[in-house]
Amino acid sequence: MKKAVVEGIVLSLMLGLLLLSTPAHAISDFYAAEVQLSGNMKLQWYYNETSESYELNVTKSFLAMVPTDISEGEYNASFEGYADVEQNTIEFYGIVQTENGEFKVDFEVANEWPQIPSGKCIATGQVHLTIQKSELPSIQYTWVHVAGRVTSYGLNSSLGWLTAHARLSETENITRAHVCWTPYFLSSKPLQNQANFTFTFYAATLINTTAVQLNYNSYDLYITGLWTVINVTFNYYGEDFEQYEEYKSINIQNATGELKVYSGWQDFTVSISGFNDVGGKVVFSRISSLRVSECDVNYDGHVNIEDLVHVAKRIGSTPGCVMGSFDLSNFTEFASVDFNFDFKIDIYDLVSVATEIEA
């Protein structure tokens, strides 16, 4: 009996110690708040062993996500971060540290100091904060992610890819859509003894969305707006085609066009004025009330180290050449990791994933 009591006490003590050692900030939640900030900010540029600095008095109200550890009220805080100085505005972004914790802020003030050099610099300051819970209306978002493989251009067979992301709500719709296609059918691999392999494709980007709708008429997804289309040519050469030259030229700007997904999210068509219809098969589609990230490249619902490694392994890839394998039929694999649509996988695509990984 005594032994059981002693064991119980020891276990309770161990559990207590474990709970005490867990950092409080690891379990903190956030609330939306209106933050009023006022105080002196010091902007510093470094030149070799010397530095140049400017002190500004800043007052600004903005919205921020504040940890629940920091309740509503007034605080003295320190700011550490950066200032991006432009001709008319100065944007501050960084972290404010109060006695109860810290949180990220991002706000912009009018540039009333013409003597300050433009560019990005270190910003620090001692500020006074007034934090008040914000009565933000709860907005219901719907996230849509579609990826597809182009199979036809007009009556011709074609190779290419489609990626589309949309965030839909009652108040605003945010859409990104890209489609690339070859104007005629190409052999997916170069012929034997071919010295170089050149191909051209069209690359269209939705630049201004007019309407986005789910279940519109007979379409599962319907997006209409203005598109810019460019011609892209890749010329691969050298042993194993490991070297390439790339040429881009604008074909048309602000052309009206629409993306339609139909047949139960099986098929899609992109119709842009001045071009034949681009048709294809949907290879992935997802609709969710939770955020769908395009950086979730293995489609497991999370952005994590696996997605980062997936992109890292494809660094150096270009359309037609993924991980050293030269094959135009792997267009869709390439497109799934080219987040900035610049036709090469590099540090920008890697950073796109890395910034989305939750600590």
Partner 1 sequence: MSIKKMGTCTFVLLILISTIITYEETLSANGSITYVYVQPHEQTINVLGENFTVNINVKYALDLYGYEFKLYYNSTILKGINVTEGPFLKQKGQTFFYIVAFNDNYNSTHGILWIDSCLIGDTFGADGDGTLATITFKSLKQGYSLISLDSVELVDSRKNPIQNQVIDGTVTIIPEFTTTFQIITLFITAATLCIIHLFYRKQKKRT
Name the residues that contact partner 1, by CB under 8 A. 45-49, 51, 81-82, 94-95, 104, 117, 119-122, 305, 308, 312, 315-316, 340, 346-348, 350-352, 354-355, 357-359
- Chain Cα centroid distance, residue 67: 24
Provide CB contacts within 8 A for 357, sequence distance 6+: 303, 304, 305, 307, 308
Nearer of residues 173 and 352 to partner 1, judged by Cβ: 352
Sheet holding 101-110, edge to edge: 50-67, 30-47, 119-133, 73-85, 89-98, 101-110
Nearer of residues 135 and 240 to partner 1, judged by Cβ: 240
The rounded distance, in Å, linking the Cα atoms of 298 and 310 is: 8
Find the shortest distance in angstroms from Cβ 237 to partner 1: 14
Find the shortest distance in angstroms from Cβ 15 to partner 1: 28
Find the shortest distance in angstroms from Cβ 263 to partner 1: 36
Indicate the SS3 state at residue 359.
coil
Look at the alpha carbons of 24, 28, 33, 38 in this order and tell me if their dihedral is positive or negative. Answer: positive
Nearer of residues 117 and 154 to partner 1, judged by Cβ: 117
Nearer of residues 284 and 348 to partner 1, judged by Cβ: 348
DSSP letters of 196-259? -EEEEEEEEEEEEEEEEEEEETTEEEEEEEEEEEEEEEEEEESGGG-EEEEEEEEEEEEEEEEE
Rg (CA), the chain: 26
**Structural tokens at position 140:** 């219901």
The rounded distance, in Å, linking the Cα atoms of 31 and 134 is: 8
Find the shortest distance in angstroms from Cβ 57 to partner 1: 24
Find the shortest distance in angstroms from Cβ 115 to partner 1: 16
- Chain Cα centroid distance, residue 80: 25
Nearer of residues 63 and 122 to partner 1, judged by Cβ: 122
Find the shortest distance in angstroms from Cβ 268 to partner 1: 28
Nearer of residues 26 and 359 to partner 1, judged by Cβ: 359
- Paired with 81 in beta bridges are 94, 123
Find the shortest distance in angstroms from Cβ 221 to partner 1: 27
The rounded distance, in Å, linking the Cα atoms of 98 and 60 is: 17
- Chain Cα centroid distance, residue 269: 25
Nearer of residues 181 and 241 to partner 1, judged by Cβ: 241
Find the shortest distance in angstroms from Cβ 166 to partner 1: 21
DSSP secondary structure code for residue 136 in this structure: P
Indicate the SS3 state at residue 277.
coil
Nearer of residues 147 and 295 to partner 1, judged by Cβ: 295
Find the shortest distance in angstroms from Cβ 316 to partner 1: 6
Nearer of residues 112 and 242 to partner 1, judged by Cβ: 242
